[in-house]
């Protein structure tokens, strides 16, 4: 057997052991002691004071303390407190006197019969075991009562544990939580011994306790009106640190929200216990009775245990539903991300005398950065690099809207500033004030080696020419903020060997664990070191940025487009 060794006193109280020893010693006329397995005395060798007092009382007053005499019998009640469950009866000992023998004995010794009878009576009193027998009867009756009561309590505990196990098994069937909770309130009524029961769950948004399951309550009572937690003192107390609330008479108690409905329903007493999961209020479990009734601590604890199991099952069900919803959302996000990737150019267009390359690294599944190449006739190509404020799904939706609107404008407009003007008004009309876009839009003329561009609040493009890096002009405000903004465009005459880089601020703001940003100077230095081609430029800068950041989590998308003039 695992654990520490069991002792005799784990099963029998020491006071009971002393009573057994004293009664046995008195009945048998011997000295006795009780020891444990290690030889340690568990009782005192001398009879206890209570035992001696009862023995004197029995001898003097015919058992006024303990078994009572009824005719020629002694009757010991089997009872716990005021509750009497039975009796044990013992016939009183009798002394038979043979007068003929006594008279012959008197004649032999020259004594009168009266003297012989007196001597005989004295001898019997010295050997009378009646007080000890009555003591033993008293002990036996009490032992039976205590053993019986312990058996009764044990059976109750077993029934309660069985009920908790059954409820736990029911609640484990979380596929249909509603029907399981309905079965739970039925089981609660059987275990607690009440007529009806209900479970209300707390709506965390409204504070209302909404009915989830009920047993033996009429439709009229259930439809009596809403139960709002802050207006229900009974339920507030049940969900407090105390854990439960008791109302002796719902019809007379001022805490009852609907006393008239309680009267019409015929419910009197109610016990409500709070349903909590890891400190969070889930709801309230109530039981109702038809007559006034008090609930002992065991019933309260049992109901609280069932409520705790129900709260855990409900919260686990909610978490399961959240996981299912999250998985469905994640699937949708994956699909949206796939669509978003298809909106970005897979390969740059081929333009005579111009090499183009790009790279896009989203921070999340869906991003707010985008770039685009828009082919035009006569070796002209449009270059777009943009960054939408915010991240995730909202930013990705705005990104798709801006891309579509820009493409619709540039197909019909030659002037870049006019396209930006219309795009600005579209954003002002369709987006929130906190949503804006930084955007670079340029058109490269491959034949005439000319770049016409308009930048709306976007990080300035960088030009590497003959070993020096220069910033392109950025004089316009971001899109979606100022309806009066007048956009201006600029022109850059390209030279052979020129290398241009357009990027989003995710590259500039990339930070390491020390809080340092990659910054403009590191971009310039990396640009000089990776200037062999447009492809080498974007991949080289990305590698140097990642080496600088290390394992720090990225916080923004990174987009780069490079152009090299041959």
**Which two three-digit tokens encode residue 65?**
């303390």
State phi, psi for 381 to the nearest 5 degrees.
-145, 135
Q: How far apart are CA 335 and CA 339, in angstroms?
A: 6
Q: What's the pLDDT band for 431 if we cut at 50, 70, 90?
A: confident
Q: How far apart are CA 40 and CA 290, in angstroms?
A: 55
**CA atoms lying within 13 Å on the CB side of residue 468:** 3
DSSP 375-388: EETTTEEEEEEEEE
Determine the average pLDDT of the residues in 470-492.
Answer: 91
pTM of the model: 0.54
Which of 286, 265, 260, 266 lies closest to 275, judged by CA?
Answer: 286
Instruction: State the DSSP H helix or E strand holding residue 78, giving kind and residue range, or none if neither.
Output: strand 73-80
pLDDT tens per residue, range 82-101:
666 676 666 655 555 566 76
pLDDT at 63: 45
Beta-carbon contacts of 52 under 8 Å, excluding residues fewer than 6 positions away, are none
Instruction: State the DSSP H helix or E strand holding residue 244, giving kind and residue range, or none if neither.
Output: strand 244-247
Q: Is the pLDDT of residue 306 over 90?
A: no
Q: What's the pLDDT band for 179 if we cut at 50, 70, 90?
A: confident
**Which two three-digit tokens encode residue 248?**
């002796």
Least confident interval from 192-196, 299-303, 339-343: 339-343
Q: Is the pLDDT of residue 127 over 90?
A: no
Q: Is the pLDDT of residue 214 over 90?
A: yes
Taking CA atoms, 256 is separated from 130, 231, 261, 369, in Å, by 61, 10, 10, 59
Question: Regarding beta strands 558-565 and 354-361, do their DSSP bridges make them parallel or antiparallel, or are they unpaired?
Answer: antiparallel
Q: How far apart are CA 140 and CA 77, in angstroms?
A: 10
Q: 3-state DSSP call for residue 480?
A: coil
Determine the average pLDDT of the residues in 401-419.
Answer: 82
**Which two three-digit tokens encode residue 448?**
């005439």
Q: 3-state DSSP call for residue 349?
A: coil
Q: How far apart are CA 204 and CA 448, in angstroms?
A: 67
Q: Is the pLDDT of residue 321 over 80?
A: no
Signed CA dihedral, 149, 151, 153, 155: sign only: negative
**Which two three-digit tokens encode residue 104?**
């012959």
**Which two three-digit tokens encode residue 73?**
């019998």
pLDDT tens per residue, range 347-395:
899 888 999 999 998 887 777 788 999 998 888 999 999 998 877 777 8
- In the chain, how long is the greatest CA-to-CA distance? 165
pLDDT at 188: 85
- Mean pLDDT score of the chain, rounded to an integer? 81
All domains of the chain in start order, with CATH: 8-93+128-155 (no CATH), 174-320 (3.30.450.40), 344-565 (3.60.40.10)
Q: At what angle do helices 416-430 and 392-410 cross, to 10 degrees?
A: 140
Confirm if 258 and 234 have CB atoms less than 8 A apart: no
Q: 3-state DSSP call for residue 551?
A: coil
Least confident interval from 59-63, 207-211, 357-361: 59-63
Determine the average pLDDT of the residues in 276-298.
Answer: 90
3-state secondary structure 412-455: CCCCHHHHHHHHHHHHHHHCCCCCCEEEEEEEEECCCCEEEEEE
Signed CA dihedral, 348, 349, 350, 356: sign only: negative
Taking CA atoms, 550 is separated from 363, 409, 513, 518, 554, in Å, by 15, 41, 8, 11, 10
Question: Regarding beta strands 369-376 and 380-388, do their DSSP bridges make them parallel or antiparallel, or are they unpaired?
Answer: antiparallel
pLDDT tens per residue, range 220-266:
999 999 999 999 999 999 999 899 999 999 989 999 999 999 999 99
């Amino acid at each position: 057997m695992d654990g520490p060794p069991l002792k005799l006193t784990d099963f029998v109280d020491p006071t009971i052991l002393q009573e057994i020893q004293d009664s046995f010693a008195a009945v048998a006329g011997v000295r006795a002691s009780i020891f444990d397995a290690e030889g340690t005395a568990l009782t005192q060798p001398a009879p206890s004071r209570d035992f001696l007092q009862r023995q004197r009382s029995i001898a003097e007053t015919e058992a006024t303390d303990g078994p009572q005499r009824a005719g020629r019998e002694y009757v010991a009640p089997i009872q716990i407190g005021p509750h009497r469950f039975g009796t044990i009866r013992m016939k009183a000992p009798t002394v038979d006197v043979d007068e003929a023998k006594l008279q012959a004995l008197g004649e032999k010794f020259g004594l009168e019969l009266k003297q012989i009878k007196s001597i005989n009576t004295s001898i019997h009193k010295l050997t009378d075991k009646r007080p000890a027998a009555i003591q033993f009867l008293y002990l036996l009756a009490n032992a039976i009562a205590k053993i019986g009561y312990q058996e009764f309590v044990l059976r109750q505990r077993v029934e309660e544990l069985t009920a908790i196990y059954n409820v736990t098994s029911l609640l484990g069937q979380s596929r249909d939580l509603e029907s399981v909770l309905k079965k739970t309130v039925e089981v609660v009524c059987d275990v607690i011994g009440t007529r009806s029961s209900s479970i209300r769950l707390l709506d965390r948004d409204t504070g209302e306790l909404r009915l989830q399951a009920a047993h033996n309550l009429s439709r009229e009572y259930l439809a009596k009106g809403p139960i709002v937690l802050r207006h229900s003192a009974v339920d507030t107390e049940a969900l407090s640190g105390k854990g439960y609330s008791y109302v002796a008479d719902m019809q007379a108690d001022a805490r009852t929200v609907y006393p008239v409905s309680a009267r019409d329903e015929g419910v009197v007493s109610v016990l409500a216990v709070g349903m909590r999961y890891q400190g969070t209020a889930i709801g309230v479990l109530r039981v109702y009775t038809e007559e006034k009734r008090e609930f002992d601590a065991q019933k309260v604890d049992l109901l609280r245990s069932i409520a705790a199991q129900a709260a855990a099952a409900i919260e686990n069900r909610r978490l399961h539903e959240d996981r299912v919803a999250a998985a469905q959302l994640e699937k949708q996000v994956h699909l949206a991300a796939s669509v978003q990737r298809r909106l970005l150019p897979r390969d740059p267009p081929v333009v005579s005398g111009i090499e183009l390359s790009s790279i896009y690294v989203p921070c999340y599944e869906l991003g707010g950065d985008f770039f685009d190449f828009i082919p035009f006739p006569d070796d002209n190509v449009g270059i777009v690099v943009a960054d939408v404020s915010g991240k995730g799904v909202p930013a990705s939706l705005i990104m798709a809207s801006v891309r579509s609107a820009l493409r619709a404008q540039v197909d019909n407009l030659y002037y870049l500033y006019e396209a930006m003007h219309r795009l600005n008004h579209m954003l002002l009309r369709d987006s929130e004030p906190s949503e804006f876009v930084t955007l670079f839009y340029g058109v490269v003329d491959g034949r005439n080696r000319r770049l016409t561009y308009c930048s709306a609040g976007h990080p300035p493009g960088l030009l590497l020419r003959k070993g020096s890096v220069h910033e392109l002009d950025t004089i316009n405000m971001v899109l979606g903020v100022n309806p009066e903004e007048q956009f201006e465009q600029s022109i850059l005459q390209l030279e052979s060997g020129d290398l241009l880089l357009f990027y989003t601020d995710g590259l500039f703001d990339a930070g390491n664990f020390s809080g340092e940003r990659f910054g403009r100077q590191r971009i310039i230095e990396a640009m000089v070191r990776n200037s062999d081609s447009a492809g080498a430029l974007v991949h080289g800068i990305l590698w140097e940025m990642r080496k600088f950041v290390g394992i720090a989590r990225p916080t923004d998308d990174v987009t780069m487009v490079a152009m090299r003039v041959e």
